[in-house]
Structure 1
Amino acid sequence: MVRCLKRAQQFSMAREELVLLLLLAAASAQFCSADYLYFICSTSPSFTANSTYRQNLNTVLFSLTSNASKNGFTAATAGQSPDQAYGLALCRGDVSPSDCTSCTSDAAKEIVNHCPNGKSAIIWYDNCLLRYSGRDFFGVVDTAHEFYMWNSDYISDPTLLNSVLGSLMNNLTSTATADPSGRLYAAGHTKFNESQDLYGLVQCTRDLSSSQCANCLKDALSKIPTCCEGMQGGRVVEASCSVRYEIYRFFNDLGTAQPSPPNGTALPPANPPVGAPPPISKSASPESSMPQPMRYYCPTTSNFTANSTYQRNRDALLRFFSSSSNASPSG
């Protein structure tokens, strides 16, 4: 919203117009969505608003948001082929049940808003992911739908980072896949240098077996040099698993301290794509996915109805922004 206001201030307008614009902009903020990291929507096949698939999807989404917080993961299906809907929700292994519920509820609302007609979609947040499809994807490792994020600051010793990070992530992968609880999650830290620790987290969706999880994490870790070589932090997030590292603690529980042997397992070297944006999924078109990171915050304490006075005022404001972006500044 600040970006929009700065743009508006470039143009000459009457005082009354500016006051009205500011009021409308402030009021419209409450209808923005919560922070998501990335989403992917299919464009085909599609469904209509009142279709049987839509009804089945609503049932699945209700089940996911109602049950995810019980143990941090849930899967659901509804209906019969060809209108059967499948879905799963996974919360990060260190989040509380209340935060899990909040995240999956936001995810269900956002993904329907951004992907109103596609039969398959995924949305990721820091605390959870939610996915649905018109086909059975349970137990299938999906590394094709992915995105990267990284810290923009470089590490002081990239060679040491490769060694320590390789050892830490291999240990965390072993911990996650050997956990008898089947959570397929592990977080921990190790010494990086005299003044810094290195923190890592790995997680898989719990519809996978331990061996499938290990293969997914291996694939994700192999992509760290592509996205994040030499960076102070980074993450590779796939539909079935994710890995992340930072030089600061980013998870709620401290996890397990991992030994850092003098000759750790190094990640393969690669040249980082400096300034490159996160990749769009191989199966998604630019119109059906949102390049990230993109963050915004808006409270959601009230609503408005279709064709209300507020909606007309909001639409007028958005048209103003759209037309102003193509105008030339005066003065």
Structure 2
Amino acid sequence: MNQSPLSPLGSLCIPLPCTNPFSLACAILVLLFFSFPFPSSGQDNNLIDYKCGEIGNYTTQYAESTYDLNLDCLFQSLVTNASSRGGFSTATVNNSLFGLALCRGDVNSSACQFCVEKVTQDVKATCSYSKDAIMWFNYCYVRFSEKQFLQSTDNSPSSSDVDDLKVTLDEYERRDFNRIAKHLMNVTIEVAYSSKNRFASRQSIFRFNYPALYALAQCTPDLSGNDCNICLQGLLTDMSTDLSEAIRGSVHLGVRCILMYHIIFDSNFLMLPFPGSPQPPFVRADDAPATTENQNKGTISGGREMITVTRATATAISLLLAIVVA
């Protein structure tokens, strides 16, 4: 990772040389996976959580002089570079203050810049004189610290939140929900750590009369694919209880990676807007959930293969699982 340390000079930052449905009445369940963008708008960019001063605070006298100058310099660099470098930026000021900003992979550059500007303003006001702070908004997050953390893969500080409501399911439906949701999360994680920008979002559609399930996974793009996978798998482990209990939505946030899912009845959870028309599906044949039932194959329009899986339920209702495969 290449970055230029900065030196505050007046109100300027001068770069220094680089140092290096689910209902049993429903007999058909269709599960589709898509890449999908979440539309970006300022009104949806809300605070999720923040943490201040975990390694202490500066004195008022120091904070009113060197601290403020260094922090302003750091934030200026993060805001400028995040929106112009694919939503990710790191900066160092005088080898004494380190910062990182990451925008969600589906927001455009203007929304990214707006978000990072907002976070830097709010975190400075909220975490006054802190030696270390992180603030997560819906579209981005920013961390700064006097401790060098930019070369580390440590995902702390971290945070998590859930939608308090649960989906009403019987025991059989809950098992199916857990299996399908875990598969969605695993596919999303795999695509994220395999991609150049370490980001992926996917959706599953349950029919009939059942809401869509959305998943999003992202790492800082300076992580290797393997480190990204390890980071996301750690969050998935933390999320396992939420999935098994059919919690409607869960978000797990860190410094190096984030993971979230939500069942959309409306667009209020984390203010994630309901997406528009989905893009062509992305699921390979080997992405299909493992099963021991008989499988039958056919084709649908566009030449894509459809795999159907049938089985008898405890109530003698056949469940047809159709997975559309690219």
TM-score bucket (shorter structure): 0.5 to 0.7
Report how far residue 217 of structure 1 moved. Answer: 0.3
Match of 1:225 in 2: 240
Corresponding letter in the other structure for 2:107? V
TM alignment of 1:1-331, pairs within 5 A: 35-47=46-58, 48-70=62-84, 71-80=86-95, 84-155=96-167, 156=169, 157-179=173-195, 182-196=196-210, 197-227=212-242, 229-248=245-264, 250=272, 254=278, 257-259=281-283, 261-263=288-290
Alignment check: 8 A CA contact 2:193 2:219 kept: no
Higher helix share goes to which structure? 1
Report how far residue 227 of structure 1 moved. Answer: 4.6
User: Matched residues in 2 for 1:113 and 1:256: separation?
Assistant: 44
| Structure 1: gaps of 5 or more residues | 1-33, 265-331
User: Matched residues in 1 for 2:221 and 2:112: separation?
Assistant: 15
Corresponding letter in the other structure for 2:158? E
Alignment check: 8 A CA contact 1:171 1:258 kept: no
CA gap 1:172/1:85 in 2 versus in 1, 3 angstroms: same
Match of 1:293 in 2: none
Corresponding letter in the other structure for 1:240? R
Aligned to 1:87, what secondary structure does the other structure show?
Answer: strand
Higher strand share goes to which structure? 2
Runs of at least 4 residues of structure 1 off by over 6 A? none
Alignment check: 8 A CA contact 1:138 1:207 kept: no
Corresponding letter in the other structure for 1:99? A
TM-score (norm 1): 0.62
User: Matched residues in 2 for 1:97 and 1:49: separation?
Assistant: 32
User: Matched residues in 1 for 2:117 and 2:145: separation?
Assistant: 18
Report how far residue 190 of structure 1 moved. Answer: 2.2
Alignment check: 8 A CA contact 1:72 1:90 kept: yes
Report how far residue 98 of structure 1 moved. Answer: 1.4
TM-score (norm 2): 0.63
Cα deviation code 1:10-69 (max 9, x no counterpart): xxxxxxxxxxxxxxxxxxxxxxxx831110011544323234343222211011112211
Cα deviation code 1:255-274 (max 9, x no counterpart): 6745573548xxxxxxxxxx
Once superposed, what is the RMSD of the aligned Cα atoms? 2.3
Aligned to 1:199, what secondary structure does the other structure show?
Answer: strand
Alignment check: 8 A CA contact 1:188 1:257 kept: no
> Percent of pairs identical after alignment?
29
Alignment check: 8 A CA contact 1:187 1:256 kept: no
Aligned to 1:174, what secondary structure does the other structure show?
Answer: helix
